[in-house]
Amino acid sequence: MLGSFAFAQGSDEGGAKKSNLRVGMVTDAGTIDDKSFNQGTWEGILKASKDYALDVKYLKPAGTTEADYLKEIGNLVDAGYNFIVCPGFKFETALFEAQDKYPNVKFVILDG
């Protein structure tokens, strides 16, 4: 699913800019300090969160099956995350299913 995604910026009570874009990440079998896809992806998300005042979160699945990935994607969506990044080709099938299940959420896959 291709398309554009715009987000609005407002201000919180202290006057700081705040975005309505909530960016979630689901890791694969690695961790956010794996010196590979997970770490690079998370570091990029953290930089964007500073630059654009984004609300960010990552979840690590209990396993590495499509069902495990879909569960964590669903947990992020249920928590209000509307832009989800998944690092690696292992997410291809899960994201193909998730884009139909969650049509109002934007997904990014790296190396897929």
- Is 23:105 a contact under the CB 8 Å cutoff? no
DSSP, res 14: T
Length of the chain: 112
Sign of CA dihedral 30, 100, 80, 43: positive
Q: What are phi and psi of 70, to 5 degrees?
A: -65, -35
Domain extents in the chain: 19-110
Q: What is the mean pLDDT of the segment spanning 75-98? A: 97
| pLDDT per position as a tens digit, 27-60 | 998 899 999 999 999 999 999 999 999 999 999 9
Residue 15 banded pLDDT, cuts 50, 70, 90: very low
Q: Which tokens hold the place of 81? A: 């995350």
CA angle in degrees (0–180, nearest 5) for 25-97-80: 40
pLDDT score for 3: 41
Q: Which tokens hold the place of 4? A: 């554009």
Q: Topology of 19-110 in CATH?
A: Rossmann fold (3.40.50)
